[in-house]
């Protein structure tokens, strides 16, 4: 029985994640909430409610914006660049099953997203040092980040394999569906929104609901819809790479 992760493909993908300017993008995403928190503490009224600020920062900026953005950058990096510049061929002509190439790259992209977003949750939490913001709240948020990263990344890895304009398409999805349609109250949109899943997971655990608000999507829905999204997107990605042929003509 082969392991789903090939260590060398994972190592290569890890190096890809932070190559070129992506290291600065990652640093920017990881540290932006900390900068916002420092500014809040410097200019806000001392009596201002820190928990309210933290809730909005995490719900809207971290889970609503930075998480899908990080997943988009790292998810599309997994394949889009290699397919375009022709370096993917070096993985395809090796005795490694193509499904393992997909699962290895996906796992690294999802892990990288979690690692980059974790400081965006933890550093503001540490900086605010508020008794009302228990460790349970930070832990709940990290659980939401993990679920969001797993689902978003699967989707963006697939988009990276399907299109040369993966980043643009992904950005349109994040803005159009996740941040406009799912917030508009359109029927069923919330039940398919990964942003809502991540936020609801964070709100559903420990004492986070008091600070972050009540979850909008039940856990059962998240479990079922999340499993479908994961299986379908990764399944198509594996199917696509297994049938991938060099498009180069003569």
Partner 1 sequence: MSVIELRRASRWYGNVVAVNDMSCEVGPGITGVLGPNGAGKTTVLHMIAGLLSPSSGEVIVNGQKALGTPETYRTLALVPEREAVHGFLTGFEFVRMSARLQGLADATGAARRAIALVDLESAQHRKVATYSKGMRQRVKIAGALVHSPRVLILDEPFNGMDPRQRLHMMEVLRQAASEGCTVMISSHILEELNDLADSVLVMVAGRLAASGHFREIRKLMTDRPHTFTVRSSDDRLLAASIMRDASVFGVELGDAGVVVRTSDRGAFTRNLPRTARDAGISLREILPTDESLESVFTYLVNR
Residues that bind partner 1 (CB under 8 A): 6-9, 11-12, 15-16, 19-20, 85-87, 89-98, 242, 245-246, 248-250
Q: Which is nearer to partner 1, 149 or 241 (CB)?
A: 241
In the bound state with partner 1, the residue whose beta carbon lies nearer, of 129 and 248, is 248
Report in angstroms how near the CB of residue 245 gets to partner 1 at its nearest: 5
Nearer to partner 1, 109 or 150 (CB): 109
How near is the Cβ of 33 to partner 1 at its closest, in Å?
28
240: burial class by Cβ within 10 Å (0-12, 13-18, 19+)?
middle
Which lies closer to partner 1 via its Cβ, residue 12 or residue 234? 12
CB of 77 to partner 1, least distance (A): 12
Please provide the size of the chain in residues: 250
Q: Shortest Cβ distance from residue 246 to partner 1 (Å)?
A: 5
Closest contact distance (angstroms) between CB of 152 and partner 1 is 24
Q: In this complex, which beta carbon is closest to partner 1, that of residue 116 or of residue 137?
A: 116
In the chain, where does DSSP find H-type helix?
7-17, 22-43, 50-56, 67-77, 80-85, 89-92, 98-128, 135-162, 166-173, 194-204, 208-212, 219-242
| Residue recorded with tokens 């972050």 | 212
């Amino acid at each position: 029985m082969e392991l789903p992760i090939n260590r060398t493909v994972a190592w290569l993908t890890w190096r890809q994640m932070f190559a070129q300017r992506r290291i600065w993008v990652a640093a920017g995403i990881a540290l932006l909430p900390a900068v916002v928190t420092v500014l809040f503490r410097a200019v806000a009224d001392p009596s201002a409610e820190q928990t309210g600020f933290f809730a909005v920062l995490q719900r809207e900026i971290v889970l609503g914006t930075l998480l899908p953005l990080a997943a988009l950058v790292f998810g599309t990096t997994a394949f889009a660049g290699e397919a375009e510049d022709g370096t993917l061929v070096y993985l395809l002509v090796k005795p490694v099953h193509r499904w393992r190439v997909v699962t290895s790259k996906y796992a690294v992209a999802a892990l990288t997203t979690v690692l980059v977003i974790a400081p965006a949750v933890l550093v503001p939490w540490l900086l605010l040092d508020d008794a009302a913001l228990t460790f349970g709240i930070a832990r709940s948020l990290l659980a939401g980040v993990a679920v969001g990263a797993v689902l978003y990344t699967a989707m963006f890895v697939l988009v990276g394999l399907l299109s040369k304009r993966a980043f643009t398409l992904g950005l349109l999805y994040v803005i159009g569906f996740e941040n406009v349609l799912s917030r508009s109250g359109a029927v069923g949109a919330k039940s398919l929104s990964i942003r809502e899943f991540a936020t609801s997971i964070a709100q559903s655990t420990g004492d986070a609901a008091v600070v972050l608000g009540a979850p909008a999507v039940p856990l059962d829905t998240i479990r079922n819809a999340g499993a479908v999204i994961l299986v379908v997107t990764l399944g198509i990605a594996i199917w696509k790479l297994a049938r991938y042929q060099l498009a180069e003509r003569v």
